[in-house]
Structure 1
Amino acid sequence: MEKFSTQRICVTESWFKVGMKDLLYTLCDYSLIRNDRSTGNRGGGIAIYFKPYLQCKVIHVSGCTDLVDSIFVEFYDNVQKCLVVCIYNPHNSNDFTIVFNKTSELSMHYVHVLICGDFTIDILSDSNRSRNLLCKFNSVGITIANKYATRFAPQCRPIMLDLFGASDTRNIMHIDQFPLAGISDHELILLSYDVEFSKTKNAVKLMYRDFKKINMNGLQYESLAMDWNYCYLLPHIDDKLSYFLMLVNYLYEKYVPISTTNAIDNKKLWFNNRILQLIKKRNNAYKYWKRNPSTERWREYKKLRNKLTTDLRQAKINYLKTKFNDNVPSKILWKNLKSLGVRPKADKACVIDANLMNSYFIGINRRHDLVSKFVVNQSLEYNHSNKLAFVSGTEDEIAKCVYNIKSNAVGVDGLSLRFLYSVEQSSQSILTLIG
């Protein structure tokens, strides 16, 4: 895809599962729109990958009751727009009424309309199904651009199931197709269409708080000038905490600037030269079989294909073992997880009253329904002097507790421990009061 600077990739029979996140199916430097089969049957589904700088919106997707999977996406800029339709027709289905009615309805609003997909009907055969499908294309003003067979299977004649059509063939600059050895017995259709869209400038930017650019002098000066002692006048601990967080978050928003950076590409670091050579050998074996089909050449192709699959799987496993094992420190382990897009779920606000929870745990040993479940050893002596008690802590003790926290995780209050260290000098007494 990089060789041809492909802007959009339409995939049929994606086999994506409804409950799985887009992260599992991402391609480097591409965004994803998908319409998964939701009927519970395996297979099916369609997806469109596109460059993130392209502006687009989904116009229509097929429902779970539709026999044909489809997705209609509009790509646009300030000057022009183009409608891209991706279709997958399951086997033993021949009802394109809904899809082509929707195409007819929408196509009047677009100069450029492209339709592609796996229609599972051999256009090269002279049958009622193929003639009806051609009539459907003609009814919406779409001309089929590709002319040759697109599926080559062992012991079967070549057939043309995958189609690429355009509303104006004069804009087609080039069309070609390539084998997908080891991936599918369908060929990849490449179409170059003369319609240019302006690029958005900040579609792949990430924003983050830049602690390296903190104005420490201004932060220290303003934090020392703040009225932290007002916390002592507030009657309830919840009010004290809210006031403290208000001051800290104000300083955080003001003195920790927001910076932007380009999104990091998810490079395939497990890829190596051995795998590259195997891919070339597999592709060559597939070409030899396609030129002169024979059982021996097909057997040689399958041998290389299976070898490549095994080596790919093992290379991924070996790479992940270096990133996730018992010897990796917790901090680096979480960094590796985040690089894969794994994030902890956002905590919901606690709605349980702290006093009620405290009363529950204080009286838990008095509940006979719980005590009766355990066998009590009467010979064990109980030291009544070791009871739970709260004691006041000094500023040094509280500071030691804060600095002993190893995790950089941000809690439900949104308070960054790294920033708390920056205002520790002025807020230490209030932390001791709250703690």
Structure 2
Amino acid sequence: MISKVRNRMRQGGLSFFLKNGIQFEEKDDLCLWIEGKVDIFSVETVFDENKKMVICLVYKPPSTPSGEFLDLFDDYLCKLLSVKNECIIMGDFNFDLLCLNSYNFQFFNLMLSHGYFPMNRFPSRITEHSATLIDNMFLPSNLVSDSYCDIMIHPGSDRLPVTCTIKQRSPTYEKFRRKLIRDLRLEHLHEFREQISVISWEKVYEEPDPSRALDNFFGIITPIFESACPFKLTRKKERDIPRKPWIDDEVVEAINARKACFFKSLNDSSEESKNEYIRQRNLANKLIRSKKKNYIEKFNEQKGDMRGIWQTINGVIKGTGKLYGLINAITVKGVTVTDKQQTADEFGKFFSGIGSRIKEDTSHGDPAKSDTLFEDNRCEHHKFQFEKASIEELTKIVKNLKSNAAGINGLNLKAFKVVSVYLLPCLLYLVNLSLEVGQFPEALKQAKVLPLFKSGNQQDMTNW
């Protein structure tokens, strides 16, 4: 236990109870101790070798004028902006968030404007005649979705302890944040182009089977691509993650555009580049101010409506993003499946069987009906015949491709376009060979399927 007690007053102070083994350091520069007005005691804890967190314990005496405390606390929150580590603010604030009068609402809005969200939504002090929410924990927005708050009910006291569980970001999570991407810098792409320019494609041209010919094509190009453009490890830094709740994808895009124009103006000292940066900067700043204003107005419009306010908070906490790759278990015929390979196989069977299920639904249980559903519309006297593709057609198709998604072999479209002039004759042979033989290459029948969660029970495959 570490404590800070009042000197001039008879009793009172603030204390931290820390589990044995947790490293900590008192942060005197983040303490604000004005006896009789405000008490703030801060420590920095170390959960592992790299993870540090600042915890601020706050007490507002009931006798302190609310306006004076808000001014002092606003300055303190501005000081926390210089802290690199995540901060948690907790304590007895003596502002009842169940009754948002003038000062209570100002305190509530002050915390939100600095990016801190209240975790406790239940009364922390209950008597026969009143219920108030004056004890709370405030977390930064990037921790809210992984945390939850509880109230411990004790029949012998009207003060209910508030607990908050924050899910520790495990090494697996940090590993997830570190991702491998292809190094597609200019020098690597030039090296890839030079190696492809001297390749002989005889193994492809000599193969009469389309599937084996395409396998030979990938067998030649894939090792060269992996050698010239290797993977590199990247990690999205915390400072690059929007921490303010009003910063959405549109704002991030505007900020990135402003940043790009700024660096361009550094390399190009022309008046045109400077004006372009100023224009983009003004657009980004205007958008940020507008988003922030709209966000705060949501709470102003709902002043006095606690349900509406908490609905807005829950919208921020829960988020509206889609869930990708969060499948821990699924239910198949009443049996829970947790094995990753089996889960992938079951999803494959489910998605590949959609066509047959639609056929059954269309026929209403009569297979003969579905087989003859479109028979009356067939025109047997009209014949369909493929024509051979031309190098001009392939060139136009490659030029119009927009997506940078890589296929099963990992070949990136950006890298492909760099060497397309050397690959198009070989690809033209593969396309025309497939049309001539009437066989679609097996390698192109494979695809990456990423389930997208819709709503409902995540273990039900029909909800993906």
TM-score, structure 1 normalization: 0.36
More helix by share: 2
